[in-house]
Structure 1
Amino acid sequence: MSGLNIAFFGSSLVSAYWNGAATYYRGMLRALAGRGHRITFYEPDAYDRQAHRDIPDPPWARVVVYQPTEADADAMLADAAGADVLVKASGVGVLDAYLEAGVLAARRAGQIVLFWDVDAPATLDSMRHDPDDRLAPLVPHFDMVLTYGGGDPVVTAYEREFGARRCVPIYNALDPATHHPVPREKRFACDLAFLGNRLPDREARVEAFFLEAAQRLPDRRFLLGGSGWADKGLPPNVTDLGHVYTADHNALNVSALAVLNISRESMARTGFSPATRVFEAAGAGACLITDAWEGIGLFFEPGHEILVAEDGAAVAEHVAALTPERARAIGEAALRRVLADHTYASRAVQVEALLTGRRAAADRVPA
């Protein structure tokens, strides 16, 4: 089968500003393009993302930026009409419900229409509890739901609770072309680094795992990267870096003695959802410390490829006990594992099999 023409409606491909899914989109779609599929990414000019671009338009995707109006959204849907695959991702941030209804209404014979959920816990919570949620009745009409994590709990919820025809997790992974070991940089030298935007269901866990560890280790240096922390009261040994552009992620990851992953509250409850930055840090050869969540062992071996902490006290204990040699050994083991088992190239093979299988089935059904 020749390459598919894929039209993707998402938050942003070119900017990671208030857009944690950016590197997931880039890795996944770049890998699909590398397998001969043609990608068009439609993103709204919203949340000042275009003013904070991390990358120019990539050669492997056509990027179309539109104004966040229904008229412009309609024009984008018309532009995408000839695609073999229409994808609406969660969390575009503007006109989400309008676009979800729009891609289904625009479906033509033989076309595959997917909902790709990059924050399944939040989406499921909204469908369960928000009386104004408009996605739930549409779920059975999508050919498939893909998620960037969640394991059996998310699959069961989508298929049994909301009637999805099929739900398949496509986990975060590593793109070795963008995230890899680089020389250390003095400006990012520290004992522990955490990178994540300030979000309502993350802040309390950052306080519990990161800031408490900093308070327990007043003689150690901590770096906090991400948007929204400027007015947060921080211990004196914590430096707020503000938004860290993706071009600096590798240097930040390799320059810290250890890098901390903190799942958002909704992700921690659901489990089986390693964040994109777990794989990015591992790809740089960083020593990772993560909060505990169900399913870690499916991705990395605790104690050998990753360190696991139940709370801020445990994070502090890990940091205090780490030597540069031990940190380097853990980081090297994580790098070997992620290159062997968790690249976007392997994820793209999985997605391609799902899409071509669904396309073949659709072609067998008379119009």
Structure 2
Amino acid sequence: MLPNPSILTMIGAFVLLLGPLVVLHELGHYLVGRLFGVRADAFSVGFGKELAGFTDRRGTRWKLSLLPLGGYVQFAGDMNPASVPDPANLEQPEPGTFQAARLWQRALIVLAGPVMNLLVAVAIFASFNMIYGKPLAEPLIGEVAAGSAAQAAGVRPGDRVVAIDGASITRWDEIAPRIALYPGRTIRLDLQRAGATLAIDAKVADVVERDRFGNETHRGLLGIGPADFRYVPVGPVEAAGLGVRQSFAVMGVMVTGLKQIVVGDRSVSELGGPIKIAKFSGEQLALGWPEFVGFAALISINLAFINLLPIPALDGGHLAFYAAEAVRRKPLGVRSQEWAFRTGLALVLALMLFVTLNDLAGLPIFGR
């Protein structure tokens, strides 16, 4: 087991990880806003009191703020960093303000932040695919571990996995997500064996795995291995396409995991906040730059996913307002938006407090 990184290493890794991702996220908003002629009053990395900054020739205040837990672009016509519109600018929006942009333009400006985070992840995965090649293996079972869930269910080497719970399987890498996320669950395996098709019910084992730093993870395990697994070189176009597929696969895992937490299939202790991200950042940096950059891709997808949730004060909440505006053919009332933003902000702050307490409860000083 490797020793845990120092607190200073964790803090440095956290800043090195989150800083660029936040800047790129907000840069997505800013650049698309500029494309549509919307002025930006402020571009901030962090929240709260300004620590340092400058004003460019366009009047945008670029600043570094006290709390490094995010950032924002405040466009002209916004009342505050949460992008609550200034009521005085709603009736007849001044040209160049956010509210003067067309509905589809405002939607694209808001969507640009999460899309930028997804593009970052795609670029990282595509780079890895170019460097290491793509994993290639047919869903043909080459080995079945002794005493495993697969052996208990009657799975044999040479079986080909055709489907899992009715979902078609054509590649080996499609198997793991349908197993690892469902520890203790009984699944149906459709197999081809000696030219015949058969269905087998298998109860996925619930395994607790520990990494090199002692972090525990519950995952499902069937106990099978591929007959032939190798990496093959890919060109830039295929590498990018694989990067897109891998990014959306990771987001799919996040959606499934969140759903399982909501319905009680997983513990809320698996939710992580800034402290846990800092801890994992330091650990991944200690393992090497490839591991750290790969972790950055996961966090970038996480930022995109969280920001797309339909919660007022997040990008997804704004998009929900614009969807309502498109249906109603007019914006929601000022008071309705204000109360929605307040409620959403309270929800976000409550969630941040919860995950931070969750992180603290998992530290060794509390006996875990």
TM-score by length of 1: 0.25
TM-score by length of 2: 0.25
Query: Of Structure 1 and Structure 2, which has the larger fraction of its residues in helix?
Result: 2
Query: Relative CO higher for 1 or 2, CA cutoff 8 Å, sep ≥ 6?
Result: 2
Query: Of Structure 1 and Structure 2, which has the larger fraction of its residues in strand?
Result: 2
Question: Quick check: which has more Rg, 1 or 2?
Answer: 2
